[in-house]
Amino acid sequence: MEEDKKSLIDQTQTFHPSHSFASQANLKSFDEYQRLYDESINSPDTFWGRAANELHWFEPWRSVLDQSDKPNFKWFSGAKTNICYNCVDRNLETRENKLALIFEGEPGDTRVFTYRQLFDETCKFANTLFSLGIRKGDRVAIYLPLIPEAVISMLACARIGAIHSVIFGGFAADSIRGRILDSTCKLVITSDGGYRRGKNLHMKTIIDDAVTGCSSVEKILVIRRDNTSSQNVNMQEGRDVWYHEASADKLTTHESEHMDAEDMLFLLYTSGTTGTPKGIVHTTAGYMVGTYLSTKYIFDIHDSDIYWCTADVGWITGHSYVVYGPLLNGATILIYEGAPDYPNKARYWDLIEKYRVSIMYTAPTAIRTFMKWGDEFPNSKNLTSLRLLGSVGEPINPAAWLWYHKVIGGERCPIVDTWWQTETGSIMISPIPGVTITKPGSATLPFFGVDPAVLTDEGNETDYGTLAIRKPWPAMLRGIYQNPGRYVTGYWSNWGGAYYYTSDGAIKDQNGYYWIIGRLDDIVNVAGHRISTAELEGATITHPWVAESAFIGADHDIKGQALFGFVILKAGFQGSDQVRAEINEIIGRKLGRFEIPERLVFVNDLPKTRSGKIMRRLLRNIAERKELGNTSTLADPAVIDHIAEEFRKLD
């Protein structure tokens, strides 16, 4: 490993788990983790068979893992089960009157569902789908705000064996159309509206536009979210159906379909950070067991918890850790429809205080935004109910980790920095709370059954290279929809097919801890030095005025490759040559002179995907003065013009 990186990681502060957390936890000691981990790697059939036995099966499996047709791995072959049955029916035995779902709308309206009520609503929804002609194997697109019906419709699809394709409620018509066409959906579930920053999103109108030219779509099922806008919704005779009308006479029982272990459960498009989104296929049994067990141990679910994952169900995090994993564990989940700054910047903290949230799972981009807004907002609320915090989506820079730990967690809550992907289905690398010693910025150690390696291009193990996974794991993707070839070439062709290729770069330190450095195409080679843009961003944010930054490597006439930085300052601060010099001084001191960027641009915003990840590819195009290419997953396309303008001012 390059010396400077090594010394940086060696100097990292470590945080030791508190004994009191571990003593009440589902996994109580590091020795227990080590013993179970070893078993999961050496005897996966025993390990995963035991985990699966904690759930309900209509028929048992013949084999836990079938590797006869690599890389088309099969888990729990021969078994029959249903994930909706396991999320809902199974919990009726002991948790019938426990809250399953708490919803708060942006305007402040609330709805709550016990497990019994969730059962009733899910069955009613399933019967409605059935009456619209939806059967096992049909694809159903779900385009909804984050309201209870988003969760219920996913569960109802799973109950009848229909394949859901959830499309994030912030996408515009073109992005939706592309996904509906790719998966030939028969039904689209949407709503008349939804709230975001006080405005009503006219989702049905967007869907009307999106489905033009989608010949597979037979029906559109419309949930009434907003009574006032309902009057103006255009309902096409014969195609569009109000949910409240279609469901009115439906029964609140519906027998779960007995699904084959490898029957498709859902398909979901990736975030599109690096290019065109891929339709990732997940199947029933392995996904169920993987999300169940990872939630149980990584989020340490207890019956007394109020669990809040802030992700939208339009992302994999929403699938695995808003809906399936927590409900499989009988948890009480909170969902919130709106923006974190509506009606003011304390809204999230208000929700935590109001519902006594004990577990919070969010993204680094959100954490950095909260830091930028200032401590007074979280400090104005009582956050003492929190006992565990999680992070996902991007590498979390140590400054954000420390802020989250101190200001939100009161220095009392373990932080689980969870590395995984849409493709992996469940968390792959993460601390076990109360058990693993944490280091800010490191996702630490693999979860059960995950056998990672850091490899050179030639396939030799190294301490800084490409993150790869040696063994199949239950919740792994089973393919890319309608594109079996791309599954093999994209994920299982490097290193002779012996490993799953993650496309992320990682460091393995002397304690065996994994540090996800970022996407491989964000690792820049300047004058023979391998520079991770995440590290530059981590150093830059230690300047007290800096709110967020993004660095990229771009082709340069003279140097071959050069570094460019884009920096957002906190509210009330102005960029100047003086600030630029100070930031460069920090980079030079912390990382080395050769990491000082060629150009450092002050900007108001960064180009982000709808899931909040920085699209560095677009910044690279600006620096190289190229066409921008596909920007369909960008949250706000106007941002790019402003950045290009600020960039050119420095010519």
Structure tokens at 294: 């990872």
Shortest separation between residue 303's beta carbon and ligand ATP, angstroms? 28
Q: Does 516 bind ligand ATP (CB under 6 A)?
A: yes
Shortest separation between residue 519's beta carbon and ligand ATP, angstroms? 5
Distance (Å, rounded) from C-alpha 154 to C-alpha 243?
15
Q: Does 519 bind ligand ATP (CB under 6 A)?
A: yes
Report the residue number, 104 or 312, with the smaller CB distance to ligand ATP: 312
Strand-pair partners of 579: none
Q: Burial letters for 239-271: b for 16+ Cβ neighbours within 10 Å, e otherwise?
A: ebbbbeebbeebebebebbbbbbbbbbbbbbbb
- The tally of CA atoms less than 13 A away on the side-chain side of residue 260 is 8
Report the residue number, 379 or 493, with the smaller CB distance to ligand ATP: 493
Report the residue number, 127 or 291, with the smaller CB distance to ligand ATP: 291
* One residue of 264, 392, 454, 476 binding ligand ATP per CB under 6 A: 392
Amino acid, res. 89: D
Distance (Å, rounded) from C-alpha 499 to C-alpha 490?
11
Distance (Å, rounded) from C-alpha 238 to C-alpha 230?
18
Shortest separation between residue 281's beta carbon and ligand ATP, angstroms? 14
| E strands, 125-198, in order | 139-142, 163-166, 187-191, 195-196
Distance (Å, rounded) from C-alpha 532 to C-alpha 551?
9
Shortest separation between residue 621's beta carbon and ligand ATP, angstroms? 15
Shortest separation between residue 516's beta carbon and ligand ATP, angstroms? 4
Strand-pair partners of 344: none
Strand-pair partners of 65: 75
* One residue of 44, 148, 338, 393 binding ligand ATP per CB under 6 A: 393
Under 8 Å between Cβ of 85 and 91: no
Which residues between 248 and 267 bind ligand ATP (CB under 6 A)? none
Binding mask 426-455 for ligand ATP (x = CB under 6 A): -----------------x------------
For tokens 């169920």, name the residue: 288
Segment near ligand ATP (CB under 6 A); pick from 318-326, 345-353, 419-427, 486-494: 419-427
Report the residue number, 270 or 549, with the smaller CB distance to ligand ATP: 270
Q: How far is CA 591 from the centre of its chain?
A: 30
Which residues, including other chains, have CB under 8 Å from residue 261's CB and lie 6 or more apart? 61, 74, 75, 76, 77, 78, 79, 80, 81, 283, 284, 285, 286
Report the residue number, 87 or 480, with the smaller CB distance to ligand ATP: 480
| E strands, 557-612, in order | 560-569, 599-602
Shortest separation between residue 471's beta carbon and ligand ATP, angstroms? 18
Shortest separation between residue 617's beta carbon and ligand ATP, angstroms? 9
Distance (Å, rounded) from C-alpha 52 to C-alpha 31?
23
Under 8 Å between Cβ of 69 and 52: no
Shortest separation between residue 404's beta carbon and ligand ATP, angstroms? 13
Shortest separation between residue 33's beta carbon and ligand ATP, angstroms? 19
* One residue of 422, 466, 494, 533 binding ligand ATP per CB under 6 A: 422
Segment near ligand ATP (CB under 6 A); pick from 71-79, 249-257, 412-420, 640-648: 412-420
Which residues, including other chains, have CB under 8 Å from residue 511's CB and lie 6 or more apart? none
Report the residue number, 235 or 635, with the smaller CB distance to ligand ATP: 635
Which residues between 271 and 330 bind ligand ATP (CB under 6 A)? 271-275, 277, 315-316
* One residue of 613, 618, 620, 621 binding ligand ATP per CB under 6 A: 613
Which residues between 332 and 391 bind ligand ATP (CB under 6 A)? none
Report the residue number, 262 or 417, with the smaller CB distance to ligand ATP: 417
Shortest separation between residue 82's beta carbon and ligand ATP, angstroms? 26
Report the residue number, 272 or 338, with the smaller CB distance to ligand ATP: 272
Q: Does 270 bind ligand ATP (CB under 6 A)?
A: yes
Which residues between 146 and 165 bind ligand ATP (CB under 6 A)? none
Strand-pair partners of 613: none
Shortest separation between residue 421's beta carbon and ligand ATP, angstroms? 4
Structure tokens at 206: 């967007």
Question: How many residues of this chain interact with ligand ATP, rule: CB under 6 A?
Answer: 24
Report the residue number, 367 or 371, with the smaller CB distance to ligand ATP: 367
Binding mask 533-572 for ligand ATP (x = CB under 6 A): ----------------------------------------
Report the residue number, 386 or 477, with the smaller CB distance to ligand ATP: 477
Report the residue number, 355 or 361, with the smaller CB distance to ligand ATP: 361
Shortest separation between residue 470's beta carbon and ligand ATP, angstroms? 17
Under 8 Å between Cβ of 469 and 502: yes
Shortest separation between residue 271's beta carbon and ligand ATP, angstroms? 3
Distance (Å, rounded) from C-alpha 210 to C-alpha 180?
9
Q: What 3-state DSSP class applies to 510?
A: coil
Picking from 535, 604, 550, the residue whose alpha carbon sits closest to that of residue 575 is 604
Which burial class, exposed, middle or buried, applies to 461 when counting CB atoms under 10 A from its CB (0-12, 13-18, 19+)?
exposed
The DSSP output letter for 408 is I
Shortest separation between residue 406's beta carbon and ligand ATP, angstroms? 19
Q: For residue 603, count other CB atoms closer than 10 A to its CB.
A: 23
Distance (Å, rounded) from C-alpha 386 to C-alpha 352?
8
Residues in contact with ligand ATP by CB under 6 A are: 270-275, 277, 315-316, 392-395, 417-419, 421-422, 443, 504, 516, 519, 611, 613
